[in-house]
Amino acid sequence: MAGKTAGTLVLPWPSSSQRARKLVALDHTLVVITLALSLVGLVMVFSASAVVAGNRFQDPWYFLKRQLAWLVLGLALMHITSRIDYAVWKKLAVPLLAVTGGLLLLVLIPSIGVLAKGARRWLRAGPILLQPTEIAKVVAVIYLAAYLAAKQERLLSFQKGVLPPLILVGAVCGLIFLQPDLGSVVVIGLVMFSLLFLAGAKLSHLFGLVLCAVPAVLALVVSSPYRWKRVVAFLFPEKDASGAGFQVTQSFLALGSGGPFGVGLGEGKQKLFFLPEAHTDFVLALVGEELGFFGTAALMMLFLAFMIRGFSIAARARMPFGYFLGMGITLLIATQTLINAGVVTGLLPTKGLTLPFVSYGGSSLVISLIGVGILLSISRDRYGGQERNG
């Protein structure tokens, strides 16, 4: 087996003569885990939103019907994507990045982008609201995977290897930040840092990036009044329990009242106009209240199983591009899951990030399912072991 050495890691790849495809069945375990998470999401979205939807739209099923429609569309796209050779995404990486940048620019135009809750993050197409930031997350991973697979030997040089993707992905992150959406910028940045490490970038370069990024993020937080209020609420939620700390305080009450086994599905009280965004960003708090510690732990174990399967699929990829793409998609979902759980439990400041597959949100659900479809495509086209005989 041929091997490539680059900086921090030694990555084994088959030689070009060994890369004959070996098609195998898709990873059924990943499919089952994804369906389980999505079905849990449907149940919890309905439980969390029925009262609010009935009061606001006179239809308790309002959010559930829309989430179900997005789920059906997402599963269809997941199936289609799983049948497409993942190598196609390598050729489309740069065009997709350009189109995504265009969509992010359109969002910032007042007459086109939809403004809601102080942020301009959506595009409207008839009755459908599209969030280009969710697309940008996956497209950034595709671009980084394509770049790292093609230029991995250059990563020992900062200017020739590390700087080019930083500039392009940084430009996309800049457009996302202007919405404003610092949380998604942090997610993309963490995934990019992880992929650079896996590809073999020098640790000195990576630590240098961290030393530059941390003061920049702190400056952005301090210079923004609403971000600074979130940090203060994170550190001292009890000092403003009815203001900036209201959401996280209600989340604590929901988690605490659940106990080991919960108050029962549908019996939660915090969703009754106490916990804001109970069906979106803070759906995990409702899981803790209604299903208890063991129900929440079971849900997080599903996410852990998803991450293990995703990393396993990536590790068996027949090409470096498949490895980086699989790792990037899995890291993207894992990072967002950990940040969301950290916010709900008070370990991180409040961010507007959904819980993948579970929270209400069409763009997030569909894009996550497309990402699963790409993982399934990688799982279809691989070596059964680390190399193929004969």
According to the model, what pLDDT value does residue 3 have? 46
pLDDT in tens, the chain (390 residues): 344 444 455 455 544 444 445 556 788 999 999 999 999 999 999 998 888 888 888 889 999 999 999 999 999 999 999 999 999 999 999 999 999 999 999 999 988 888 877 788 889 887 788 999 999 999 999 999 999 999 988 999 999 999 999 999 999 999 999 988 888 999 999 999 999 999 999 999 999 998 988 888 888 888 777 777 778 777 777 676 666 677 888 888 889 888 999 998 888 888 887 887 788 889 999 999 999 999 999 999 999 999 999 999 999 998 999 999 999 999 999 999 999 999 999 888 888 789 999 999 889 999 999 999 999 999 987 543 333 333
Contact 6, 323 (CB under 8 A): no
Separation between Cα atoms, residue 336 and residue 358, nearest integer Å: 12
d(CA 75, CA 77): 5
**CB 259: neighbour CB atoms within 10 A?**
13
HSE toward the beta carbon, residue 67, CA cutoff 13 A: 27
120, β-bridge pairs: 115
Sheet architecture: strand order including 113-116: 113-116, 119-125, 128-130
Contact in structure between 167 and 147 (CB atoms under 8 Å) = no
Q: Residue 254: enclosing H or E segment and its boundaries?
A: helix 246-258
Residue boundaries of the structural domains of the chain: 30-380
> In the prediction, which pLDDT does 5 show?
42
The pLDDT score that the predictor gives to residue 235 is: 76
Q: Cβ neighbours of residue 25 under 8 Å, at least 6 residues apart?
A: 380
pTM (2 d.p.): 0.89
Which residues are CB-contacts of 354 (< 8 A; sequence separation ≥ 6)? 280, 281, 283, 336, 340, 360, 361, 364
- Residues 143 and 165 sit within 8 Å (Cβ to Cβ): yes
Residue 297, pLDDT score: 96
DSSP, collapsed to helix, strand or coil, labels residue 361 as coil
Token digits of residue 341: 């759980």
Report the distance separating Cα 89 and Cα 85, nearest Å. Answer: 8
From residue 179, alpha-carbon distances to 106, 114, 172, 188, 364 in Å are 11, 10, 12, 15, 17
* CA–CA distance, 387 with 390 (Å, rounded to integer): 10
In 10 A of CB 56, how many CB atoms? 11
Beta-carbon-side half-sphere exposure of residue 235 (alpha carbons within 13 Å) = 5
Locate 39 and state its tokens: 């079905």
d(CA 352, CA 180): 11
> Which stretches does DSSP call E strand in the chain?
3-6, 9-12, 113-116, 119-125, 128-130
CA angle 372, 373, 375 (to 5 degrees): 65
Q: How far apart are CA 4 and CA 283, in angstroms?
A: 44
What's residue 6's pLDDT?
43
